[in-house]
């Protein structure tokens, strides 16, 4: 099973830049989208269906903001929209699909870059999210939690760890949260197979950051430890330029 995760930073803009052709060429089994900035009636669903995908959408209540989605070649047994928490679900941040014993999640963690209020919101979300998925894992043992976590976990995951030490997305408390979360029984699939530096999934639009590969790795396929021996391949696709993020891939022998 090949799973792609992609923060498209506006799915309509990404589609206008050739996103659907790229998906057709790569032919993943599942695609997890974040930051849709659109409602289903604004998305070319017939084109997606013609490409052979079932599709599921969980937009934010606020227009042009946030939202997650999922495409899958196989129809899931069950799809769950949100986490039964209105404060977070109104922002369209969590979508789960069950395929037999495997659950795939598309998640969009909040950013704290706009100020203290949203940083506080982000930290509260992280606590709720961790408790929620740990509870979920009691019944859904095998999970792939794919998406934009808005955190660089280690110094290797960011182009300038020294000057960004006090930046949202690389704060000590965020990085500690990530370590604690993984210690609960989860694996960063990319780092399991690839220990190399300079692998990033997001670049600022400023100062030619992408051309100079001055990026951040904030998009992840986090898998339950029960699946880590089933990881057969991982990849980041920086040449896909439909967004300020790029797609990431994990392949499982499942």
Q: Could you read off the pLDDT of 90-129 as tens digits, one per residue?
A: 999 999 999 999 999 999 999 999 999 999 999 999 999 9
Residue 163 confidence (pLDDT):
97
Catalytic residue list contains 98: no
Q: Over the chain, what is the mean pLDDT?
A: 98
pLDDT at residue 137, rounded to an integer: 97
| Range of the structural domain that residue 167 is part of | 2-252
Full-prediction pTM beyond 0.95?
yes
Q: pLDDT digit string (tens) for 36-63?
A: 999 999 999 999 999 999 999 999 999 9
Catalytic residue chosen out of the listed positions 148, 188, 219, 244: 148
Q: What is the CATH number of the domain that holds 141?
A: 3.60.10.10
Give the number of domains in the chain.
1
Average pLDDT over residues 167-186: 98
Q: What percent of the chain has pLDDT over 70?
A: 100
| Residues whose CB falls within 8 Å of the CB of residue 142, separated by 6 or more in sequence, listed in order | 101, 102, 103, 224, 226, 227, 254
Helix (H) or strand (E) holding 236: strand 231-236
**Crossing angle of helices 172-183 and 116-136, rounded to 10°:** 0
**What pLDDT, on a 0 to 100 scale, did the predictor assign at position 197?**
97
CA distance 189 to 184: 15
């Amino acid at each position: 099973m090949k799973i792609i995760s992609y923060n498209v930073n506006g799915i309509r803009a990404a589609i206008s830049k050739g996103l659907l052709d790229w998906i057709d060429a790569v032919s993943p089994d599942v695609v997890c989208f974040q930051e849709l900035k659109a409602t289903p009636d604004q998305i070319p669903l017939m084109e997606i269906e013609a490409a052979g995908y079932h599709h599921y959408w969980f937009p934010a209540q606020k227009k042009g903001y946030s939202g997650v989605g999922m495409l899958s070649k196989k129809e899931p047994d069950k799809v769950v929209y949100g986490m039964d928490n209105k404060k977070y679900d109104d922002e369209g941040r969590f979508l789960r699909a069950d395929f037999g014993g495997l659950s795939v999640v598309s998640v969009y963690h909040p950013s704290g870059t706009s100020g203290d209020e949203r940083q506080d919101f982000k930290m509260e979300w992280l606590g709720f999210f961790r408790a929620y998925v740990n509870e979920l894992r009691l019944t859904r043992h095998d999970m792939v939690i794919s998406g934009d976590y808005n955190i660089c976990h280690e110094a290797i995951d960011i182009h300038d760890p020294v000057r960004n030490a006090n930046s949202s997305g690389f704060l000590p408390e965020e990085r500690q949260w990530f370590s604690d979360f993984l210690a609960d029984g989860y694996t960063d699939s990319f780092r399991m197979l690839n220990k190399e530096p300079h692998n990033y999934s997001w670049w600022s639009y400023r100062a030619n950051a992408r051309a100079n590969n001055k990026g951040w790795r904030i998009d992840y396929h986090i898998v339950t430890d029960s699946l880590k021996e089933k990881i057969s391949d991982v990849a980041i696709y920086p040449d896909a330029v439909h967004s300020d993020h790029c797609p990431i891939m994990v392949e499982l022998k499942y």
